[in-house]
Amino acid sequence: MCRRLVLLLCGLVFAVRVQAADHAAVLLYHHVSNDTPPSTSVSPAVFRRHLDFLAAGGYTVLPLSQILATLEKGESLPDKTVAITFDDAYQSVLDTAAPLLKKHGWPFTVFVSTQSIDDGYHDYLSWDGLRKLIAAGAEIGNHSYSHAHLVRYLAGESLQQWQMRVAADIRRAQQELHEKLGDTPVLFSYPYGEYDADLQDIVGSLGFFGIAQQSGAVGEGFDRLEVPRYPMATNYEDMQRFAVSVASRPLPVSKVSAGPRIQVAGESSRYNFAFDLGSGDFRLSQLACYNSSTGERLSLNKQAAAGATRISMQLPDWDAGRRKINCTAPAEHNPGVFYWYSYLWLVKQADGSWYQE
């Protein structure tokens, strides 16, 4: 009897270990509506299918703040962990998304630019609406006060003046969130998904996690100022892509060399993108990196390095805009699972001016 009990307990411990994980997928939504721009929207029907998929697949949905705190401490998450996030606090999050999430009892994170609330922008939530979201299971994060392109300098602005302005903008939003809503997590979502090392320094100095918009899973040893998320919108909403996204794992990338984060059109092809890729349960021979603007598969050079493989490629000849390279490799022993890493560049117009939205 005692021997059976020991074996049973050992089996339970093994099961817990099997179900533990060191990674999670973070999903990014904006509108959940049929009547808003497709580039930042999913329909209610599609959003419902996404949630049904997570429920049927046994996924665990946790607050983003809890996921990041757990990973940063080196602790394990439940297997198949996902965070659901929304940028901008549109009305459809309260009217459509929150009731669907509440049916599952799932938490979610909403990033707010507080000027849109203060000035009563059309289709954005009010402070009372945000309190209703909190009651429905939301945590509220900082998306700046102004929702400006924070990496951009004003005319005649010095580095120090820019630093002071941007820090004040972020602090103002956090102060308003605290005064209106109480304690809020130290999560900052970069407006438009734009950032560079200088903006990351400000965000880090203020104690925030920096939440980005390029794809990829977040895992142990993640960069706390460059947390990836999978954008969900009309062109990226199909169930096959959704299934790959939520099942993904982070590629073990280090020692990244990427040229300037902010570049000028016509100059990007002068630079190489390179990183060390550690070992893992993925097929190195099937590693592929893609220009997200065109879907073009890039030519890779692979060289053995100390305990890793050095991967390098020439950057595409990009025109102006937000540009990304996505690198993926299929899992060796887990069919349908992909390891993923993405990197962002901001490419100005050839004359040095910024691209338009």
pLDDT for 176-235, tens place per residue? 999 999 999 999 999 999 999 999 999 999 999 999 999 999 999 999 999 999 999 977
Same domain, 218 and 332: no
The CATH number that applies at residue 289 is 2.60.40.10
pLDDT value for 11: 38
pLDDT value for 237: 64
Residue-number span of the structural domain to which 237 is assigned: 21-248
Mean pLDDT of the chain: 93
Residue by residue, DSSP assigns 328-340 as EEEBSSSTT-EEE
9, part of any domain: no
pLDDT value for 235: 72
Contact indicator for 318, 265 with CB cutoff of 8 Å: yes
Last residue of a domain, one of 218, 248, 278: 248
Cα distance between residue 143 and residue 148, in whole Å:
10
Contact indicator for 60, 81 with CB cutoff of 8 Å: yes
167, part of any domain: yes
- For the segment 34-62, the average pLDDT, to the nearest whole number, is 96
342, part of any domain: yes
Contact indicator for 297, 287 with CB cutoff of 8 Å: no
Same domain, 342 and 230: no
Last residue of a domain, one of 192, 226, 248: 248
Would you say the C-alpha torsion 253, 259, 352, 195 has a positive or negative sign?
Answer: positive
Same domain, 208 and 273: no
- For the segment 242-264, the average pLDDT, to the nearest whole number, is 97
Same domain, 242 and 263: no
Same domain, 90 and 173: yes
For residue 196 the two structure tokens come to 């560079």
- For the segment 307-317, the average pLDDT, to the nearest whole number, is 96
Assign 6 a pLDDT band (cuts: 50, 70, 90): very low
